[in-house]
């Protein structure tokens, strides 16, 4: 049975009930354990754990220093295309939005690379909408060849692909692939995804399995917090992560915590709100239960929130992000996927980390032994 099949057998209402039944005693025993499991994660994200946040933060910070030292890895997204053949009601790139569509040429990508390198980054995340006929494998392979020559770490966030296609991306130099399930609630997923291949919940759910089978070095997971009840969605994300770690143990994993942000033509109706305090609780719970997993925070969050939360448990941070193609060499907000809150420059973010005793690192890893 694949991880996706195992997840599909897990009932949303059962998980929600288990989570909301957790007591203060469950939280205390989760905090006392040295090795924590999924049931501990449920306790730590439950309402019963809200009063334990200071304890959680202290333990999470200690584990983060133990595993990652003071380092925080910086990366930047490079949007290659905003073409998309899907209708997602929460996204500015959704196909019915009347925005100017573009796909960067190789010359335009070179200009973006030049602008990004000037900021100091050695780690880049290539992002596209999901349009397999106009921005598919041929385009990705050409872009990776160009970009890989300039960055020691290249990650991708594009449409779900087949196992063989992921093998080809890895062989071409892709180090990580991020694929967010958005929500693990099937009925809600159908409400938000109205047209296109993304409507296929099961194809998306099985994507991390295909990445694991392809031997991708790092796999990124996450849910878009707010699309469904956030605690239960996070419980499913953590279960997904835990099962993948057991099955595809050679890969590294990262988790992100995007909260829904306004975008052009936004029609999403949020089903839950995640407060700042609740997001900190979630981040600490991940660190306590998954000490070795990389936790990433994007520029969706405000400078103040990022400055205060990063020292607790975050080890990976985007900075100076532009969320539209061509945004670094020719900045405009006309084509944005969503609005960002932390608009500081890369050097300002790095300086802020240094001021908090952290060590900004401009890459993810270095190829030292000819991998
Ligand atoms: S979320 Fe992704 S697939 Fe959906 S409209 Fe936006 S770019 Fe397209």
Judge whether residue 84 has pLDDT over 80.
yes
Q: Which atom of ligand 1 is nearest to the CA of 196?
A: 3
Q: How far is the CA of 89 from the centre of ligand 1 (A)?
A: 9
Confidence check: pLDDT of 258 > 90: yes
Which residue, by CA, sits nearest to atom 4 of ligand 1?
88
DSSP codes joined into one string, 177-193: EE---B-S-HHHHHHHE
pLDDT in tens, 285-304: 999 999 999 999 999 999 99
Over residues 230-258, the mean pLDDT reads 97
| Distance of alpha carbon 368 from alpha carbon 42, whole angstroms | 39
Given a contact cutoff of 8 angstroms between Cβ atoms, the answer to whether 81 and 324 are in contact is no
Q: What is the pLDDT of residue 264?
A: 63
Distance from the alpha carbon of residue 211 to the mean position of ligand 1, in angstroms: 20
> With pLDDT > 90 as the criterion, what percentage of the chain qualifies?
88
Confidence of residue 261 (pLDDT cuts 50, 70, 90): confident
Average pLDDT, integer, range 41-70: 98
For 85-140, the pLDDT digits (tens) are: 999 999 888 999 888 899 999 999 999 999 999 999 999 999 999 999 999 999 99
145 is written with which tokens?
């060849």
| pLDDT tens string 159-198 | 999 999 999 999 999 999 999 999 999 999 999 999 999 9
Judged against a pLDDT cut of 70, whether residue 80 lies above it is answered with yes
Percent of the chain residues past pLDDT 70, beyond the cut: 95
Ligand 1 nearest-atom number relative to CA 95: 5
CA nearest 234: which of 278, 282, 169, 186? 282
User: Model confidence at 268, in pLDDT bands (50, 70, 90)?
Assistant: low
For residue 124, the SS3 value is: strand
Per-residue pLDDT, 263: 65
SS (H, E, C) 208-262: HHHHHHHCCCEEEECECECCCCHHHHHHHHHHHHHHHHHHCCCCEEEEECCECCC
Q: Which atom of ligand 1 is nearest to the CA of 82?
A: 7
Helix axes 38-45, 24-32, angle to 10 degrees: 130
**Arithmetic mean of pLDDT, 44-66:** 98
> Which two structure tokens, joined as six digits, stand for 237?
């994300």
Ligand 1 centroid to residue 297 C-alpha, Å: 20
pLDDT for residue 97? 87
- How much distance in Å is there from the Cα of 341 to the middle of ligand 1? 20
190-240 pLDDT, tens per residue? 999 999 999 999 999 999 999 999 999 999 999 999 999 999 999 999 999
> Lowest-pLDDT range, 26-40, 163-177, 329-343?
329-343
The residue whose CA has the least distance to atom 2 of ligand 1 is 129
pLDDT value for 25: 98
176: nearest Cα among 194, 158, 154: 154
Give nearest CA residue, ligand 1 atom 5. Answer: 94
Indicate if the pLDDT at residue 371 is higher than 90.
Answer: no
What mean pLDDT, rounded, does the chain reach? 94
How sure is the predictor about 338, in pLDDT bands with cuts at 50, 70 and 90?
A: low
What tokens does 154 get? 């290249």
pLDDT at 262 over 90: no
Model confidence band, residue 255 (pLDDT cutoffs 50, 70, 90): very high
Question: Rounded to the nearest whole angstrom, what is the distance from the C-alpha of residue 83 to the centroid of ligand 1?
Answer: 9
3-class DSSP state for residue 155?
strand
Question: Taking CB atoms and a 6 Å cutoff, what residues make up the pocket around ligand 1?
Answer: 84, 86, 88, 91, 93-94, 129-130, 198
Rounded Cα–Cα distance for residues 368 and 121 (Å): 18
């Amino acid at each position: 049975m694949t991880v996706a099949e195992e997840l599909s057998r897990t009932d949303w209402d059962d998980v929600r009930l288990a989570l909301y039944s957790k007591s203060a005693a469950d939280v205390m025993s989760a905090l006392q354990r040295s090795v924590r499991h999924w049931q501990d994660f449920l306790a730590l994200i439950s309402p019963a754990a809200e009063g334990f946040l200071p304890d959680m933060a202290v333990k999470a910070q200690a584990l983060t220093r133990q595993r990652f030292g003071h380092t925080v890895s910086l990366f930047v997204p490079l949007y290659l295309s905003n073409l998309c053949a899907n209708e997602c009601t929460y996204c500015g790139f959704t196909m019915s939005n009347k925005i100017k569509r573009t796909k960067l040429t190789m010359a335009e990508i070179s200009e973006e690379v030049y602008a990004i390198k000037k900021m100091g980054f050695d780690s880049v995340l290539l992002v596209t909408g999901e349009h397999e006929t106009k921005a598919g494998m041929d385009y990705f392979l050409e872009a990776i060849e160009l970009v890989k020559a300039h960055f020691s770490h290249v990650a991708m966030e594009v449409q779900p692909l087949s196992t063989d296609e992921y093998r080809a991306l890895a062989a071409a130099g892709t180090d990580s692939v991020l694929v967010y399930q958005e929500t693990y609630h099937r009925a809600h997923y159908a409400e938000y995804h109205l047209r296109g291949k993304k409507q296929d919940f099961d194809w998306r759910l099985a994507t991390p399995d295909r990445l694991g089978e392809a031997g991708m070095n790092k796999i990124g997971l996450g849910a878009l917090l707010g699309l469904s009840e956030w605690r239960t969605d996070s419980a499913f994300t953590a279960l997904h992560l835990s099962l993948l770690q057991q099955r595809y143990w050679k890969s590294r994993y990262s988790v992100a915590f995007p909260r829904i942000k306004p975008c052009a033509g936004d029609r999403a109706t949020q089903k839950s709100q995640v407060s700042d305090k609740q997001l900190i609780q979630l981040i600490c719970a991940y660190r306590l239960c998954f000490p070795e997993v990389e936790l990433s925070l994007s520029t969706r969050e405000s400078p103040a929130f990022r400055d205060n939360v990063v020292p607790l448990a975050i080890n990976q941070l985007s900075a100076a992000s532009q969320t539209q193609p061509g945004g670094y060499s020719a900045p405009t907000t006309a084509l944005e996927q969503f609005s960002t809150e932390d608009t500081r420059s890369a050097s300002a973010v790095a300086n802020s980390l240094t001021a908090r005793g952290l060590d900004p690192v401009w890459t993810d890893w270095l190829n030292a032994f000819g991998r």
